[in-house]
Structures are given as C-alpha cells and as structure tokens.
Structure 1
Amino acid sequence: MSTPIVAGGGALLKAIHPKWSPAAIRSALMTTAYAKDNTGRTLKSQFAHSGTPIHFGAGHIDPNKAMDPGLIYDMGFQDYVDFLCGLEYTDEQMRIILKRKKWHCNKKLSHELNYPSFIVVLSNETTYPTAMNLSRVVTNVGNDTSVYEAHLEKIPTGMKIRVEPSTLTFTEKYQNQSFVVSVEIDRDFPMIIYGFLKWIDQYGHIVSSPIVATNF
C-alpha cells in the first residue's frame, strides 16, 4: 500500500505547489517523514526487529508537514545525466535512457546526486577508504529570512560525521546554499550503521535526512 499512499501525497503537493519539480516533491516527502511509531520507538523491519533506513527509507510520510518543508533538495535533467555518467554507463545505455544522441557529462561522482539522503559504501579492508565526502545543495522554500543549524542525531560509536558549514543562512526565498557531509568509520564497524542530519531553523522547520554507512 505504500506506493498509492506516496502517490497521493505527491499529487497533493503538486496541487499546492504546481511549479515544484518531481525531485522537489520527493524531497519534501522524505525530509518531513518520521522514523518512529506511535509508541515512540524506531519503526520496525518486516521481521519485527528495530529497523534502519535500509528498511524504512526516510520514514513514514507526513503530507501536512511536506506542504511546508522549509528546504528542498532539487534536481534537474543535467543532475540525472551526471549521475548516470558517474555510474560509468556506456554510450549505448545513455542513448537508450536519455533518448537523445548528445549529452554533456560534468565531472561528478555518482554519490554526489543531490538526493535528500546519504549513503556511503565503505570497507574495513585496509585497501579501501574509510571516509567519504558528500556534497549537497538545498533551496529555501520556507520563510524569506531564515537560519538553519545542523543537528546530528543517533550517531553510533564508530561513526564520525562533520557538516561544513554547520549553519545555513538564507536572505530570500528560493535561494540556494551548499554544504558537505564528511563521513568516517572505524575499521571494525558493523555491516550497517546510521544516524540523521537535521537542519532546524527558528520557525520550527526540521529537514531530516538519514546518513547510512554500509560495510561490504
């Protein structure tokens, strides 16, 4: 039932914000979702164990809050092209997906897609990196003048996260600001660990994104 529920929420947001892109609507639904049930506990997996963002994604959508998300992670056509280029798709695959003969690839890595969540695939093998930087751009769709502070929650032992800058100041609506999330893990970290980045402003907007590190 999750698909029709999310589709209905997306249709509602499109009616209220007709100029929003599909990426903006997705961002609003994800960043305002909640990851706790009605008892205040973390959402469970299908096996009735405490879940992780691998199980429940961004969480349970809240369409009322999604109407006014504060910030959005927006994307356009070129962002998806760069993502496919970063995945090293062949020219033939690109032509099939893009349905065009020409395109331009910017030098971006696949994990730099401007998605409203963060996942890093690292390894505790000595030949693989234990740290990664992820860049994002957010657009202010809330109050004209607002200041957002970065809050890190549920960061487990063995996982270090740094956000630069840790404060985003907006002086007008639809202004963009960029930031970088640096994730570092210990060599002996478990298969999946996660925490949350929440941008919170003075008006009560909470823009939440899961940060997941998985060990292969």
Structure 2
Amino acid sequence: MNVIAAWTGAASPSGRSFDKRRVAFNILSGTSMSCPHVSGIAGLIKTLHPDWTPAAIKSAIMTSATVEDTERNPILNSSLLPATPFSMGAGHVFPSRSLDPGLVYDMGPTDYLNFLCALGYNASAMEVFNEAPYRCPAAAAAASLHDLNYPSITVLGLPGGGLPTVRRRVKNVGDPGTYTAAVVREPEGVQVVVTPSTLLFKAEGEEKEFEVSFVVRNPAAARDYAFGAILWSDGVHKVRSPLVVKTQE
C-alpha cells in the first residue's frame, strides 16, 4: 500500500488524458507493488536455498506470513473489517521468517500432473503438458482435487453438508524436531481435526503426511464461506495454513 515507485514518463501520474504532468516517481498500491516485493523475497530464499523448488519457496513465504499488523492487531480489509484469506491471502509477508520456515509443503511435476488427471484431462492433453506420454494413476489411487499439496486448504462440501478429508505432506527443511498441530481457528460451524497431531522429524529433508478432517456441527453457519487456520510448531517455527470451507456449493 502507498509504495513510492518508479513511474513511466509516457503517462501522467493519474493516467487521465487531460493530466499533462510527468513525474519520475508515483505512489502506488495493489498487486503491481506486491509482485516485485514478493519476487525479491523469493530471490533471497533461492539464494540461501538454491535447491528449493518454486513450490517450497512459495510455501515458505505463505506459511511464515503474519495475520497481524504492526500494532499486533488483526489485519483489516479495505472496509476496515477483519480480513479473510479472500482479501489478504495467507497474510502479510515476513521475509526473515520465510528464510527459515521449518517445514514446507513441497511439490514436483508429478503432483501437478496428477492434479490435472483428477481434473479429467485426457491422454492427449496430458502428453502436451508432460511433453511425453503420461499414465494417470488408476481410479482407485487417483488423488482428490483437494489433495494437491498446497500450503492452504479449501474444501467445498456436498449439498448434504459433508466435507472431505484432506491429505497433505510437509518436508522438514530445518533441524530435527517434533512439530505439534494446533487449530488456531475453526471455521464457523465446523470442527477441524488434524491426524496425527504430532510429527517427529529425525533429519533434514524428511517428509511426513497428515490428514485434516472436517466435522460439520452446524451446516447453516458454513453455508457461505467460513475461515480458519491450522498451525504446526516446534516451539521455534510457526507454519500456518489458512482454511476455507463451504458446506454447500
């Protein structure tokens, strides 16, 4: 918000045809300003961790973000109401934390290809994406669309209010340690259970899987979108993932 940035001499600061002013800098807000800042943070992470995948870098930035402002109050949206993931994503970037996130939700080409399989792409389309023939997993082993190993979790329920169990895996990118899960906020009307609730990592690079299940207590409360978060912590690192649920499509 309100970032002083270089500005083209080919247009006025207001962008209006009647505005004849030309300036070297302008005060700007929005994704045009956040993109270069986040790109710079990604560059810092890549410099420190040159072997990390793009997914690991994105995870580090998202899961280390804060949902509080500089006065330790909840971030507000443009209407001065508490912000949700729809208005702030995972939160406000925290560069120093992103360099040492503790755990990351990593992905490789196979994760994305299986996601496309779950979307129903045929063999011809899969060959285009893979630049070679690709055999999708058998129907019994096919991954759910909800199981793409993304750092946030969104689940849409069936008309009856049922919500699927979501599977994720995290990779330890720090020292060995034990991480414990906490549901820091439950979506309204929905109970969230993380299984197992404790993960023991004995080495850097080790990966562990867990499941997040959703028990609908009040379908009406989550008929519109409801929000929450889960947090993995070893006492030093805080790995936060936003939750978005909806009991009816």
The answer to whether the Cα contact below 8 Å between 1:82 and 1:110 also exists between their aligned partners in 2 is no
- Give the TM-score, by structure 2 length: 0.79
Q: Give the counterpart of 1:89 among 110, 118, 121.
A: 121
Report the Cα distance in structure 1 between the residues aligned to 2:187 and 2:143, rounded to whole angstroms. Answer: 29
Which residue in 2 is equivalent to 1:74? 106
Matches within 5 A, 1:52-201: 52-98=84-130, 100-106=131-137, 107-123=142-158, 125-126=159-160, 129-143=161-175, 145-185=176-216, 186-190=218-222, 191-201=224-234
The answer to whether the Cα contact below 8 Å between 2:115 and 2:148 also exists between their aligned partners in 1 is yes
Which residue in 2 is equivalent to 1:40? 72
- For 1:83, the aligned partner's letter is F
- Give the TM-score, by structure 1 length: 0.91
The answer to whether the Cα contact below 8 Å between 1:69 and 1:141 also exists between their aligned partners in 2 is yes
The answer to whether the Cα contact below 8 Å between 2:185 and 2:230 also exists between their aligned partners in 1 is no
Task: Name which one, 1 or 2, has greater alpha-carbon Rg.
Answer: 2
Q: Which runs of 5+ in 1 are unaligned?
A: none
Percent sequence identity over aligned pairs: 37
Structure 1 position 96, deviation (Å): 4.0
Matches within 5 A, 1:7-26: 7-26=39-58
- 2:165 partner SS: strand
Which residue in 2 is equivalent to 1:50? 82
Q: Which runs of 5+ in 2 are unaligned?
A: 1-32
Deviations 1:55-93 (A, max 9, x none): 211111111101110001111100000111111124444
The answer to whether the Cα contact below 8 Å between 2:60 and 2:98 also exists between their aligned partners in 1 is yes
Report the Cα distance in structure 2 between the residues aligned to 1:58 and 1:92, rounded to whole angstroms. Answer: 35
Report the Cα distance in structure 2 between the residues aligned to 1:74 and 1:59, rounded to whole angstroms. Answer: 20
Deviations 1:98-122 (A, max 9, x none): 3x24112221111101111111012
Matches within 5 A, 1:201-212: 201-202=234-235, 204-212=236-244
Structure 1 position 130, deviation (Å): 1.7
The answer to whether the Cα contact below 8 Å between 1:132 and 1:184 also exists between their aligned partners in 2 is no
Alpha-carbon spacing, 1:92–1:32, altered in 2? closer, same or farther (3 Å): same
RMSD of aligned alpha carbons: 1.6
Alpha-carbon spacing, 1:45–1:96, altered in 2? closer, same or farther (3 Å): farther
Which of 57-66 and 180-189 deviates more? 180-189
Structure 1 position 206, deviation (Å): 0.6
